[in-house]
Amino acid sequence: GQNIDQPTEMTATEGAIVQINCTYQTSGFNGLFWYQQHAGEAPTFLSYNVLDGLEEKGRFSSFLSRSKGYSYLLLKELQMKDSASYLCAGTFNQGGKLIFGQGTELSVKP
Amino acid sequence: DTEVTQTPKHLVMGMTNKKSLKCEQHMGHRAMYWYKQKAKKPPELMFVYSYEKLSINESVPSRFSPECPNSSLLNLHLHALQPEDSALYLCASSTHGDGNQPQHFGDGTRLSIL
């Protein structure tokens, strides 16, 4: 299968920068999504990368290297409300099926 | 607030009951999805409908029966569920079902099986 790996937990300080890494198997890979999910709420779409490089969207940026099977989500100027689970998800040659990683639980501390 | 609306928000049912979960979107999306999510785990895909036709069934037990009456509605009929089926059930939609557009999720139905 297409394993998606990301760290289980991360902790960072308010105002700092944090990078959440995600690796995947490159065979059949199409594109990579990042979602944010607060406890008890729906996942919300953050970014989609299909080409190599960095996509910047406000305080959040996402990077993709297709050849290395690697992506990261960069969060700048962290705020307490950024405490959430961050889900890395890829699509492969299986149509509309999203393959999720286990999610990274980010705790932002004062 | 999300643009995908799910009802009910909470549901408690016995193992012999029959109930249905409902999902609605008015974004003109032609692909709709059902996911199951356990605590501290990512969503697990159950079903995909593309242009009102079932395109993916992830070997889901027959006690879960999906239905797509039209392009805006998606139902999940439940019958004879087991305690391990207790979870958050998420509906999502996307423009098409080819995997190249983001999926928009509803807030989910929290299901408890007694």
Q: What's the pLDDT tens digit per position in B13-24?
A: 999 899 999 999
pLDDT at res. B104: 94
pLDDT band at B99; cut points 50, 70, 90:
confident
What mean pLDDT is predicted for residues A1-9?
88
CB contact under 8 A, B100 and A33: no
CB contact under 8 A, A45 and B90: no
Out of A95, A98, A105, name the one closest to residue B103 (CB).
Answer: A98
User: Chain B contacts of A95, Cβ < 8 Å?
Assistant: 48, 50, 55-56, 97-99
Q: What is the DSSP annotation of A21-76?
A: EEEE--TTEEEEEEEEE-TTS--EEEEEE-SSEEEEETTEEEEEETTTTEEEEEE-
Out of B55, B101, B105, name the one closest to residue A43 (CB).
Answer: B105
Token pair listed for A84 = 């959430």
Residue B1 in this model has a pLDDT that exceeds 90 = no
Work out whether the CA dihedral A97, B95, B108, A11 comes out positive or negative.
positive
Q: Per residue in B38-94, pLDDT tens?
A: 999 999 999 999 999 999 999 999 999 999 999 999 999 999 999 999 999 999 999
pLDDT at res. A97: 86
Is residue A98 less than 8 Å (CB to CB) from chain B? Answer: yes
pLDDT at res. B31: 95
Burial of B43 (0-12, 13-18, 19+ CB in 10 A): buried
Q: Which residues numbered 24-63 in B keep a CB inside 8 Å of some CB on A?
A: 31, 33, 40-45, 48, 50, 55-56
Q: What is the DSSP annotation of B87-101?
A: EEEEEEEESSSSS-S
Out of B2, B102, B107, name the one closest to residue A48 (CB).
Answer: B102
Residue A33 in this model has a pLDDT that exceeds 90 = yes
CB contact under 8 A, B48 and A98: no
